[in-house]
Protein backbone atom coordinates (compact mmCIF):
# COMPACT_ATOMS: atom_id res chain seq x y z
CA UNK A 1 0.00 0.00 0.00
CA UNK A 2 1.23 3.49 -0.86
CA UNK A 3 1.83 6.33 1.57
CA UNK A 4 1.04 9.57 -0.28
CA UNK A 5 2.88 12.67 0.83
CA UNK A 6 0.90 14.88 -1.55
CA UNK A 7 -2.78 13.93 -2.00
CA UNK A 8 -4.07 12.97 -5.44
CA UNK A 9 -6.97 15.44 -5.32
CA UNK A 10 -4.34 18.20 -5.17
CA UNK A 11 -1.69 16.82 -7.56
CA UNK A 12 -4.49 16.22 -10.10
CA UNK A 13 -4.61 20.00 -10.59
CA UNK A 14 -1.36 19.63 -12.55
CA UNK A 15 -3.49 17.93 -15.22
CA UNK A 16 -4.75 20.79 -17.40
CA UNK A 17 -8.19 19.28 -18.12
CA UNK A 18 -8.82 18.52 -14.46
CA UNK A 19 -7.70 22.02 -13.49
CA UNK A 20 -10.21 23.43 -15.98
CA UNK A 21 -13.07 21.48 -14.42
CA UNK A 22 -13.18 18.14 -16.25
CA UNK A 23 -14.27 15.64 -13.58
CA UNK A 24 -15.17 12.67 -15.78
CA UNK A 25 -12.37 10.72 -14.12
CA UNK A 26 -11.55 10.78 -10.39
CA UNK A 27 -8.56 12.78 -9.22
CA UNK A 28 -6.42 9.71 -8.51
CA UNK A 29 -6.82 8.56 -12.16
CA UNK A 30 -5.76 11.87 -13.69
CA UNK A 31 -2.48 11.60 -15.55
CA UNK A 32 0.38 14.07 -15.22
CA UNK A 33 3.80 14.37 -16.78
CA UNK A 34 6.56 13.14 -14.47
CA UNK A 35 10.27 13.90 -14.27
CA UNK A 36 12.01 11.34 -12.07
CA UNK A 37 14.89 13.07 -10.30
CA UNK A 38 16.55 9.74 -9.42
CA UNK A 39 16.80 8.46 -12.98
CA UNK A 40 16.24 11.50 -15.21
CA UNK A 41 13.45 9.66 -17.03
CA UNK A 42 10.21 11.33 -18.09
CA UNK A 43 6.89 9.56 -18.36
CA UNK A 44 3.15 10.00 -17.91
CA UNK A 45 1.49 8.50 -14.84
CA UNK A 46 -1.76 8.65 -12.82
CA UNK A 47 -1.62 10.80 -9.72
CA UNK A 48 -2.33 7.82 -7.45
CA UNK A 49 1.21 6.58 -8.24
CA UNK A 50 3.17 9.84 -7.90
CA UNK A 51 4.54 11.54 -4.78
CA UNK A 52 4.02 8.30 -2.87
CA UNK A 53 6.13 5.55 -1.37
CA UNK A 54 5.14 1.92 -0.94
CA UNK A 55 4.78 0.73 2.64
CA UNK A 56 6.43 3.68 4.38
CA UNK A 57 3.49 4.34 6.72
CA UNK A 58 2.58 0.69 7.35
CA UNK A 59 3.21 -1.40 10.47
CA UNK A 60 1.85 -4.69 11.75
CA UNK A 61 0.56 -4.68 15.31
CA UNK A 62 0.77 -8.27 16.50
CA UNK A 63 -1.99 -9.47 18.81
CA UNK A 64 0.53 -10.58 21.42
CA UNK A 65 1.96 -7.05 21.61
CA UNK A 66 -1.49 -5.64 22.30
CA UNK A 67 -2.13 -8.35 24.88
CA UNK A 68 1.13 -7.56 26.67
CA UNK A 69 0.32 -3.86 26.71
CA UNK A 70 -3.19 -4.52 28.08
CA UNK A 71 -1.86 -6.83 30.79
CA UNK A 72 0.73 -4.23 31.82
CA UNK A 73 -1.63 -1.25 31.87
CA UNK A 74 -4.95 -2.64 33.16
CA UNK A 75 -5.57 -3.72 36.77
CA UNK A 76 -6.24 -7.37 37.52
CA UNK A 77 -9.86 -8.38 37.19
CA UNK A 78 -12.62 -9.51 34.90
CA UNK A 79 -12.38 -6.41 32.71
CA UNK A 80 -8.71 -7.06 31.92
CA UNK A 81 -9.43 -10.73 31.23
CA UNK A 82 -12.23 -9.72 28.82
CA UNK A 83 -10.02 -7.21 26.97
CA UNK A 84 -7.16 -9.70 26.68
CA UNK A 85 -9.50 -12.38 25.38
CA UNK A 86 -10.97 -10.03 22.76
CA UNK A 87 -7.52 -8.90 21.64
CA UNK A 88 -6.37 -12.46 21.15
CA UNK A 89 -9.55 -13.26 19.22
CA UNK A 90 -9.26 -10.14 17.08
CA UNK A 91 -5.75 -11.03 15.92
CA UNK A 92 -3.08 -8.92 14.24
CA UNK A 93 -3.87 -5.40 12.96
CA UNK A 94 -2.32 -3.49 10.05
CA UNK A 95 -1.68 0.13 11.01
CA UNK A 96 -1.60 2.58 8.09
CA UNK A 97 -0.76 6.26 8.61
CA UNK A 98 -2.50 6.94 5.29
CA UNK A 99 -5.78 6.67 7.25
CA UNK A 100 -4.69 9.66 9.34
CA UNK A 101 -3.76 11.55 6.20
CA UNK A 102 -7.22 10.92 4.74
CA UNK A 103 -8.82 12.43 7.85
CA UNK A 104 -6.49 15.44 7.62
CA UNK A 105 -7.53 15.94 3.99
CA UNK A 106 -11.13 16.57 5.08
CA UNK A 107 -10.03 19.41 7.35
CA UNK A 108 -10.48 23.13 6.78
CA UNK A 109 -6.77 23.43 5.99
CA UNK A 110 -7.13 21.45 2.78
CA UNK A 111 -10.57 22.78 1.83
CA UNK A 112 -9.59 26.42 2.37
CA UNK A 113 -6.45 25.93 0.28
CA UNK A 114 -8.56 24.57 -2.57
CA UNK A 115 -10.88 27.57 -2.23
CA UNK A 116 -7.91 29.95 -2.47
CA UNK A 117 -6.79 28.12 -5.61
CA UNK A 118 -10.25 28.46 -7.17
CA UNK A 119 -10.62 32.13 -6.26
CA UNK A 120 -6.99 33.14 -6.81
CA UNK A 121 -6.75 34.96 -3.49
CA UNK A 122 -6.68 34.73 0.30
CA UNK A 123 -9.65 36.47 1.89
CA UNK A 124 -9.11 36.30 5.67
CA UNK A 125 -6.63 35.59 8.45
CA UNK A 126 -8.54 32.38 9.20
CA UNK A 127 -7.99 31.20 5.64
CA UNK A 128 -4.34 32.29 5.83
CA UNK A 129 -3.92 30.16 8.95
CA UNK A 130 -5.52 27.15 7.27
CA UNK A 131 -3.26 27.50 4.24
CA UNK A 132 -0.27 27.72 6.61
CA UNK A 133 -1.32 24.35 8.04
CA UNK A 134 -1.51 22.93 4.52
CA UNK A 135 1.97 24.27 3.65
CA UNK A 136 3.49 22.99 6.90
CA UNK A 137 1.94 19.57 6.33
CA UNK A 138 3.83 19.29 3.05
CA UNK A 139 7.00 19.14 5.12
CA UNK A 140 6.01 16.74 7.90
CA UNK A 141 4.18 14.38 5.53
CA UNK A 142 7.22 14.03 3.30
CA UNK A 143 8.94 10.60 3.44
CA UNK A 144 12.32 12.08 4.39
CA UNK A 145 10.74 13.73 7.44
CA UNK A 146 8.60 10.69 8.24
CA UNK A 147 11.55 8.32 7.95
CA UNK A 148 13.61 10.55 10.25
CA UNK A 149 10.82 10.59 12.84
CA UNK A 150 10.54 6.81 12.62
CA UNK A 151 14.28 6.41 13.16
CA UNK A 152 14.18 8.69 16.20
CA UNK A 153 11.30 6.73 17.71
CA UNK A 154 12.87 3.36 16.98
CA UNK A 155 16.12 4.59 18.58
CA UNK A 156 14.08 4.80 21.79
CA UNK A 157 13.43 1.05 21.44
CA UNK A 158 9.90 1.57 20.16
CA UNK A 159 8.49 -0.93 17.70
CA UNK A 160 7.50 0.43 14.30
CA UNK A 161 3.79 0.46 15.11
CA UNK A 162 4.50 2.24 18.40
CA UNK A 163 6.59 4.78 16.49
CA UNK A 164 3.74 5.43 14.03
CA UNK A 165 1.31 5.91 16.91
CA UNK A 166 3.72 8.42 18.49
CA UNK A 167 3.89 10.29 15.18
CA UNK A 168 0.09 10.25 14.96
CA UNK A 169 -0.15 11.77 18.46
CA UNK A 170 2.36 14.43 17.45
CA UNK A 171 0.36 15.38 14.34
CA UNK A 172 -2.74 15.72 16.54
CA UNK A 173 -0.99 17.85 19.20
CA UNK A 174 -2.23 21.45 18.98
CA UNK A 175 0.88 22.91 20.65
CA UNK A 176 3.18 21.13 18.19
CA UNK A 177 1.04 22.20 15.24
CA UNK A 178 1.02 25.80 16.44
CA UNK A 179 4.81 25.80 16.58
CA UNK A 180 4.94 24.62 12.94
CA UNK A 181 2.50 27.15 11.51
CA UNK A 182 2.87 30.28 13.62
CA UNK A 183 6.08 31.52 11.92
CA UNK A 184 4.25 31.19 8.59
CA UNK A 185 1.09 32.97 9.73
CA UNK A 186 2.85 36.07 11.11
CA UNK A 187 5.00 36.58 8.01
CA UNK A 188 4.39 38.58 4.83
CA UNK A 189 2.72 36.60 2.02
CA UNK A 190 2.82 37.24 -1.71
CA UNK A 191 0.72 35.20 -4.12
CA UNK A 192 2.24 35.13 -7.60
CA UNK A 193 -0.72 34.27 -9.85
CA UNK A 194 -0.02 33.21 -13.45
CA UNK A 195 -2.54 33.28 -16.35
CA UNK A 196 -1.57 29.73 -17.37
CA UNK A 197 0.24 26.72 -15.93
CA UNK A 198 3.71 27.88 -14.91
CA UNK A 199 4.84 26.09 -11.74
CA UNK A 200 5.80 22.38 -11.75
CA UNK A 201 5.37 20.58 -8.42
CA UNK A 202 8.23 18.72 -6.70
CA UNK A 203 7.52 15.97 -4.17
CA UNK A 204 8.91 18.21 -1.42
CA UNK A 205 6.47 21.05 -1.94
CA UNK A 206 7.36 23.53 0.83
CA UNK A 207 10.71 24.88 -0.31
CA UNK A 208 13.09 26.82 1.95
CA UNK A 209 15.83 29.07 0.59
CA UNK A 210 19.42 28.81 1.79
CA UNK A 211 19.16 31.62 4.35
CA UNK A 212 15.86 30.18 5.63
CA UNK A 213 14.21 33.57 5.11
CA UNK A 214 11.73 32.45 2.44
CA UNK A 215 9.29 29.58 1.96
CA UNK A 216 8.10 28.94 -1.59
CA UNK A 217 5.11 26.68 -2.26
CA UNK A 218 3.25 26.09 -5.52
CA UNK A 219 -0.33 25.94 -4.25
CA UNK A 220 -1.38 25.19 -7.82
CA UNK A 221 0.29 25.17 -11.25
CA UNK A 222 -0.82 28.81 -11.53
CA UNK A 223 -0.28 30.06 -7.97
CA UNK A 224 3.10 30.37 -6.27
CA UNK A 225 3.08 31.37 -2.62
CA UNK A 226 6.08 33.31 -1.29
CA UNK A 227 6.33 33.60 2.52
CA UNK A 228 8.89 36.12 3.75
CA UNK A 229 9.82 34.80 7.19
CA UNK A 230 12.07 37.80 7.84
CA UNK A 231 9.23 40.28 7.26
CA UNK A 232 6.54 40.18 9.98
CA UNK A 233 3.00 40.99 8.86
CA UNK A 234 -0.46 40.82 10.36
CA UNK A 235 -2.10 41.12 6.94
CA UNK A 236 -3.47 38.42 4.65
CA UNK A 237 -0.93 39.08 1.92
CA UNK A 238 -0.81 40.63 -1.52
CA UNK A 239 -1.63 39.27 -4.97
CA UNK A 240 0.86 39.81 -7.75
CA UNK A 241 0.24 38.98 -11.39
CA UNK A 242 3.01 36.70 -12.55
CA UNK A 243 4.58 37.47 -15.92
CA UNK A 244 7.00 34.76 -17.14
CA UNK A 245 9.16 37.32 -18.95
CA UNK A 246 9.27 40.04 -16.32
CA UNK A 247 9.47 37.50 -13.48
CA UNK A 248 11.99 35.15 -15.06
CA UNK A 249 14.24 35.49 -11.99
CA UNK A 250 11.44 34.35 -9.68
CA UNK A 251 10.75 31.30 -11.83
CA UNK A 252 14.45 30.42 -12.06
CA UNK A 253 14.79 30.68 -8.29
CA UNK A 254 11.75 28.46 -7.77
CA UNK A 255 13.06 25.97 -10.34
CA UNK A 256 16.45 25.78 -8.60
CA UNK A 257 14.89 25.20 -5.16
CA UNK A 258 12.39 22.66 -6.51
CA UNK A 259 15.15 20.64 -8.18
CA UNK A 260 17.58 20.88 -5.25
CA UNK A 261 15.00 19.70 -2.72
CA UNK A 262 13.11 17.12 -4.77
CA UNK A 263 13.82 13.51 -3.81
CA UNK A 264 11.58 11.48 -6.14
CA UNK A 265 9.51 13.26 -8.80
CA UNK A 266 8.57 16.61 -10.26
CA UNK A 267 5.20 16.76 -12.01
CA UNK A 268 3.63 19.15 -14.52
CA UNK A 269 1.00 19.36 -17.21
CA UNK A 270 3.34 19.33 -20.21
CA UNK A 271 6.52 17.43 -20.98
CA UNK A 272 8.47 20.19 -22.82
CA UNK A 273 8.68 22.26 -19.62
CA UNK A 274 10.02 19.28 -17.68
CA UNK A 275 12.46 18.58 -20.52
CA UNK A 276 13.79 22.13 -20.14
CA UNK A 277 14.20 21.59 -16.41
CA UNK A 278 16.03 18.31 -17.05
CA UNK A 279 18.62 20.09 -19.20
CA UNK A 280 19.61 22.57 -16.50
CA UNK A 281 22.86 22.39 -14.54
CA UNK A 282 20.85 22.22 -11.31
CA UNK A 283 19.04 19.09 -12.43
CA UNK A 284 22.16 17.32 -13.64
CA UNK A 285 23.83 18.08 -10.32
CA UNK A 286 20.82 16.83 -8.32
CA UNK A 287 20.66 13.67 -10.40
CA UNK A 288 24.31 12.93 -9.64
CA UNK A 289 23.78 13.56 -5.93
CA UNK A 290 20.83 11.19 -5.68
CA UNK A 291 22.55 8.50 -7.77
CA UNK A 292 25.61 8.68 -5.51
CA UNK A 293 23.36 8.37 -2.47
CA UNK A 294 21.61 5.31 -3.92
CA UNK A 295 24.94 3.71 -4.85
CA UNK A 296 26.20 4.14 -1.28
CA UNK A 297 23.21 2.35 0.25
CA UNK A 298 23.84 -1.23 1.47
Domain ranges of the chain: 2-57+97-296, 59-95
**Model confidence at 297: pLDDT above 70:** no
Q: What are the tens digits of pLDDT across the range 213-267?
A: 999 999 999 999 999 999 999 899 999 999 999 999 999 999 999 999 999 999 9
Pairing of strands 238-241, 187-193: parallel
The mean pLDDT of 73-88, rounded to a whole number, is 82
**Amino acid 296: pLDDT:** 54
* pLDDT tens-digit map of 129-168: 999 999 998 888 888 888 888 788 778 888 888 888 888 8
- Burial (Cβ within 10 Å: 0-12, 13-18, ≥19) of residue 135: buried
Q: Which residue has the higher pLDDT, 118 or 174?
A: 118
Return the higher-pLDDT residue of 79 and 290.
Answer: 290
Share of the chain above pLDDT 90, in %: 62
**pLDDT tens-digit map of 2-11:** 888 899 999 9
191, pLDDT greater than 70: yes
Residue 165 CB-density burial (10 A; 0-12 exposed, 13-18 middle, 19+ buried): middle
* Residue 159 confidence (pLDDT): 83
Rg of the chain over Cα atoms, rounded to whole angstroms, equals: 21
Q: Is the dihedral of CA 172, 175, 181, 185 positive or negative?
A: positive
**What's the Cα-to-Cα distance from 267 to each of 12, 17, 139, 145, 199, rounded to whole Å?**
10, 15, 17, 20, 9
Of 208, 239, 203, the residue nearest 223 (C-alpha): 239
Q: Write the secondary structure of the chain as one string of H (helix), E (strand) and C (coil).
A: CEEECCCHHHHHHHCHHHHCCCCCCCHHHCEEEEEECCCCCEEEEEHHHCCEEECCCEEEECHHHHHHHHHHHCCCCHHHHHHHHHHHHHCCEEEECHHHHHHHCCCHHHHHHHHHHHHCCCCCHHHHHHHHHHHHHHHHCCHHHHHHHHHHHHHCCCCHHHHHHHHHHHHCCHHHHHHHHHHHHCEEEEEEECCCCCCCEECCCCEECCCCCEEEEEEECCEEEEEEEEEECCCCCEEEECCCCCCHHHHHHHHHHHHHHCCCEEEECCHHHHHHHHCCHHHHHHHHHHHHHHHHCC
User: pTM score, two decimals?
Assistant: 0.87
Do 213 and 157 touch, CB atoms closer than 8 A? no
Integer Cα distance of 50 and 32 in angstroms: 9
| Burial of 238: CB neighbours in 10 Å, binned 0-12, 13-18, 19+ | middle
Q: Could you give phi then psi for residue 257, rounded to 5 degrees?
A: -65, -40
Amino acid sequence: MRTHFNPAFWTALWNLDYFNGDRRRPARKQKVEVLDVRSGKMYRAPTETVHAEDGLGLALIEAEDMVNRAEASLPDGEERDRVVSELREFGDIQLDIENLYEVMEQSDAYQETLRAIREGRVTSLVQKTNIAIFVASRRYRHPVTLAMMLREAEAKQLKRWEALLEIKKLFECSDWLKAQIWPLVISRWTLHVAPKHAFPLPDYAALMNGSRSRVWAALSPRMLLEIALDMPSSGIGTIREFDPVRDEAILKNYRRLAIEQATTQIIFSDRPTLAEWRETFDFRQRLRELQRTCAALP
